[in-house]
Amino acid sequence: MRAFRLIPLYFGLLLTAAGCSRPVSVTVTDEVINPCYLGNGVEWDPYDEAPAWGCPLSDQDWETLFQRLDYMRPQYVRCMINSPFTYFDGKGFADERNAGSLLKLLGYCQRNDIMVVYGEYNPPTWEMKCSQAWVEASVRHLNWLVEENGFTCIKHFVIFNEPDGNWASTNGDFAFWKAMTARFQAQMDRYPALQGVTLAGPDAVIDYRNPASAYDALGWLEATVKEVPQVGIYDMHAYPGQQYVRSGAFQKTLEGMKAAVGDKPLILGEAGFKYFSDPADSALAREYWKRVEGHPFTKGSDCNMLVYDDFYALDMPLLLMSVMNAGLSGAAAWMLDDAMHSNGDSGTTGDVKLWGMWNILGSEVFGDASQEEVRPWYYTWSLMCRHFPAGSTILKLAGKLPADVAAVAARKPDGSYAVAFVNFGDKDQSIALQLPVPAQDYGLQTWPASPEAAVSSGRFTLPSQTFAIFAKEPWK
């Protein structure tokens, strides 16, 4: 793994910097943005297609995944299945069918007290989208996981992925989705073990509008709040562009979403970047499509060819800072591993969804062992998971940051503090940070590891193009 630089500080805390412009004073206040953050995590689906590719994950693959997740410490996992690869065989339903990977994944979450948002991408067939047989089988499968296998880590259930989309079986029909939530809830009520599981929704895509739908994304959320009492946690998806996030406009969009749900929790069930939808990102879009040309295992139809780049390791925590400062309660990165999906879940390897932190089957299936290596954004996302655990209180920062610096702060359940920064500009910045407590045993971690970030006599420099987090290391 690429090394982090950890610098212990023992006094504290007025951090200023030498050799830069006048320091920017930043103070962690006691003003609360969110009193009980649920935490950050990842989309981790159970490799439904790997058996169709002729290569289920080996024990060594699972051990590698578990070691990497042990460092990340995700606070929540979104886990979605495709029933034709699992409990539906084309004719009937069998809970145990191809369930091995799902059981391993959920077992890890159960052992590590990770909240799981579980669900199904779509019904077994488009024609079955309103089938009572599917409703009963889907809920029975959920109960099999929770009651019979003991996966009480499953706290929320998604019945359709992105139901507002024209790619979904629902095709943006809110009234249909609303009716199905009532039917699923009625079926869930028949199982005592599912009383601790609530529906998550609407699972709609921010900044997208299906012409066939009565609502845009905000409309879906507002209608869900008003008309769908079965939903226990609100969730949306987001794939903004780079300038949209860096300008602060994306955070304002999220603040509008949060206002629609009031004090109830709102999470991003999927979060990533699309660099080809905003003219402001045109240079990135050109590079994206250049990399797609002739690629051996993706056609670019649903992927992000820039996940390999260092700047993505800055963009993803920037997105999280928007989420946290807007008052949302968590976000799952889309996605952990390229080996989880092909486009359209076709079961073929010629057009995979290349979005991950690695491809665990890079060698075995795709003939490229380098794809199994950890990509840079794993490190910064991991730090945002490790240092902002479930139960943290997100706090406001006082002070005017430069336009190309973002930050977020929290008081953790143990009473310590964490403050994360991203400097996405071309100039080093001087930061004078004040915590509400002495900084005994706190440390500074940066990515990339940077000697310029060294602290001397209480002086702190945040180098250009750098992520940094100031906190106590929670797990030695």
Q: For position 448, which CATH number holds? A: 2.60.40.1180
| Final residue in a domain of this structure, among 353, 369, 386 | 386
- What is the separation of C-alpha 157 from the centre of its chain, rounded to a whole number of angstroms? 16
Closest CA to 314 of 303, 324, 306: 306
Q: How many domains does the chain have?
A: 2
CA 391 to chain centre: 17
In-domain check, residue 476: no
Tokens of 172: 């943006």
Confidence (pLDDT) at 18: 42
CA dist 267 and 202 (Å) reads 11
Are 53 and 30 within one domain? no
Look up residue 310 and give its two tokens.
């260092």
* pLDDT lower than 50: segments of the chain: 1-19, 456-458
Kindly state whether residues 317 and 255 are assigned to the same domain: yes
Inside any domain, residue 309: yes
8 Å CB contact between 450 and 434: no
Distance between CA atoms of residues 160 and 180, nearest Å: 9
**79 and 30 housed in the same domain:** no
> Is 30 found in the same domain as 63?
no
Which residue's entry shows tokens 């946290």?
Answer: 324
- d(CA 307, CA 376) in angstroms, rounded, equals 8
Of the candidates 273, 300, 271, 257, the one whose C-alpha atom is nearest the C-alpha of residue 384 is 271
Helix (H, G, I), strand (E, B) or coil at 77: strand
Same domain, 292 and 409: no
Instruction: Identify whether residues 410 and 279 lie together within a single domain.
Output: no
Q: Rounded to whole angstroms, how far apart are CA atoms 403 and 417?
A: 24
Domain co-membership, 297 together with 440: no
Task: Say what angle helices 377-386 and 59-72 make with each other, to 10 degrees.
Answer: 60
Single residue among 351, 366, 386 that ends a domain in this structure? 386
Q: Are residues 89 and 9 part of one domain?
A: no
Is the distance from CB of 37 to CB of 324 less than 8 angstroms? yes
Residues in CB range of 16: below 8 A, 6 or more apart: 23, 430, 431, 432, 458, 459, 460
The DSSP bridge partners found for residue 32 are 395
The answer to whether residue 328 sits within a structural domain is yes
Q: Is residue 87 domain-resident? A: yes
432 located within any domain: yes
Residues 17 and 52 reside in one and the same domain: no
Residue ranges making up the domain that contains 305: 38-386
Same domain, 379 and 349: yes
Strands across the sheet with 24-37, in order? Answer: 5-9, 442-447, 466-471, 417-423, 405-411, 392-398, 24-37, 429-434, 461-462
In a domain, 440, yes or no: yes
> Is 60 a domain residue?
yes
Is residue 259 one of the residues assigned to a domain?
A: yes
20 and 102 fall within a common domain: no
- Final residue before a domain boundary, out of 334, 354, 386: 386
- Confidence at residue 440, expressed as pLDDT on a 0 to 100 scale: 80
pTM (global) more than 0.85 = yes
CATH number at residue 61: 3.20.20.80
48 phi-psi bin (left φ>0, alpha ψ -120 to 50, beta other): alpha
Cα–Cα dist 344/331, whole Å: 24
Q: Are residues 113 and 223 in the same domain?
A: yes
Burial of 106 (0-12, 13-18, 19+ CB in 10 A): buried
